[in-house]
A and B are shown apart, each in its own frame.
Chain A
Amino acid sequence: MARQRPGAFGPGADHGRWEGSLSGEGSRLEVAQSRRGCLKRAGGMGAAALALPAAGCAAVGRINSHTLDFSTDFGVLNYAYSLEVMESDFYNRVVASPPRGIRPEELALLRDIQQHEMAHRRFFARALGPLKIDVPERDFSSVDFTSRDQVLTISRTFEDTGTAAYNGAGKLLSLAEFLSIAGKIVSVEARHAAALRDLTMNDPRAFAGDDIIDENGMERALDPPEVIDRVQPFFRERFRLSGLPGRMA
């Protein structure tokens, strides 16, 4: 059983080329490509072991698309995974080739954030196993990675949006364990966001400014369609969203 075999699907389950830098344990397994492979692996793999009896392997065939199906928790996890992939790819590039004129303490901050996003990405990749979607290729062609200001501003936007996305996704989850995990991650995203706002906005209150916190002292919560609209420019192909409650779709 999967429970006795932690690490049965290793970091290689996510084929991002940066995966190796933070990995180091577990064997690598290819994502299930065929129904047969899918069924065979389901006995020993990740979240698939939970989903397959009901979803059937035919569903897994469709998972390798750019579709986020919010009718089950796995769609929500894939949504979070997609955001983490986008963020981590962005920070990987920043850290590998830092913008001109960035200060050492600013770069140290971005390096910490890059490590966190990679940890989140790896975590979701493993938790989803073969239920992980094929995230559209990232497209950062609009970003000037040599500009400190632009890099920091985009970082800030990513973290504010990511936090609001997790805040809006909680209600879509059905399983307490997944809600708990999302909670462990969103507060770290919020810590990032506060740091970047403090760094880039000339206001001691900006870390939790009135532009994003309402009079109840509550931060924004964004539903998936709003979030995807905002991040879609950073992907080559379009996401497809399905299974959202009527008032959100």
Chain B
Amino acid sequence: MSTHDSLDPETTETLLSRRDAIRGGLGLGSRAAAGLALGSAPLALAALASEAFGQARDLPGDVVEVLNFGLMLEELGVDFYTRALAAPGLLTGNPRAVFEQILKHEAGHRRFLRATLGDRAIAAPRFDFTGGMGRGNGPLAGVFSDRETFLAVAQSLEDLGVRALKGQAPNLLRHDAVLQPALRIHSVEARHASQVRALRGQRRWIVEESGGPGIPALLQGAYEDEDNTFHFILAPLRHTEEVTRAFDEPLTKGQVIRILRPFMATVPELGGRVR
């Protein structure tokens, strides 16, 4: 079971007050206008996000941390699917079209995050999808040659990505200009997870805390505590299999990095302000 913050009087007051100060006044600044003039929605949107704070260098430190964590996940996705699509014979027909679509989205997310972060973006980490921490000799030697292994890793990484982004949303609560793009990325990751699960013949939602048969031991953590049914102190739900399917559970940054550590040849400096 995960832990839950209780509601203190201060949050009660916040709850009952409007957020006009943050919501209002997000005008179209010069960089956003320039992005639109150039016909580049990514640049315009990224500029819009950073202009809410002035320039990228004015992004609050905690927001930079969240965005760089997201960027690390997108770099992982881009690298993973680029390699898979380049692997001879691994992906053909409809599954190939599915993963091309997914890669296209991950690349779009990465571009948006890099444009928003500017020179505060982390360098792309190096990954080792065998799970060997950069030595290339981890237990998943067949990740780009065996279709079942690839799909099981892809499913785990997508389900994990959903949980990882979900865990960051509350960190962006006061930063609407980046919260909405983050939410819009999050639901796309959930669509990816749904589709990859279907390619594996799994139900599209997470049952209890299992990824189904074939999930590598290294990635079991992606499903840990997914069976939580306690979401709000005032409305606990009885634990049933169907209720576990109805809610996806967040993970903290630390939990996600621990799970991903075997797949990382280098670990970026992500800071320690946010969980």
Contact = CB atoms under 8 A, between A and B. Distances in A.
Interface of A: 2-3, 6-7, 22, 24-25, 46-47, 49-51, 53-55, 71-73, 112, 115-117, 119-120, 122-123, 126-127, 129, 163, 166-168, 170-177, 179-181, 183-195, 198, 204-205, 207-208, 213-221, 245-247
A71 B166 contact: no
Interface string B233-270: 11111100011011111100000000000000000000
B205 to A, nearest CB: 5
B98 interface: yes
B250 A3 contact: no
B232 A119 contact: no
Of B101, B233, B246, most buried by chain A (CB within 10 Å of CB) is B246
A221 B183 contact: yes
Nearest to B170: A176
A216 B94 contact: no
Given A116-B245, A188-B246, A219-B184, A179 B173 contact: yes
A195 to B, nearest CB: 5
B186 A72 contact: no
Interface string B32-59: 0000000001100100000000000000
Given A171-B176, A175-B14, A181 B231 contact: yes
A123 B231 CA distance: 9
A176 to B, nearest CB: 4
Interface in B162-190: 162, 166, 169-170, 173, 176, 179-181, 183-190
Contact of B232 (A7, A54, A127): A127
B83 interface: no
9 contacts: A49-B234, A50-B12, A123-B231, A126-B234, A171-B179, A171-B180, A183-B186, A191-B205, A215-B41
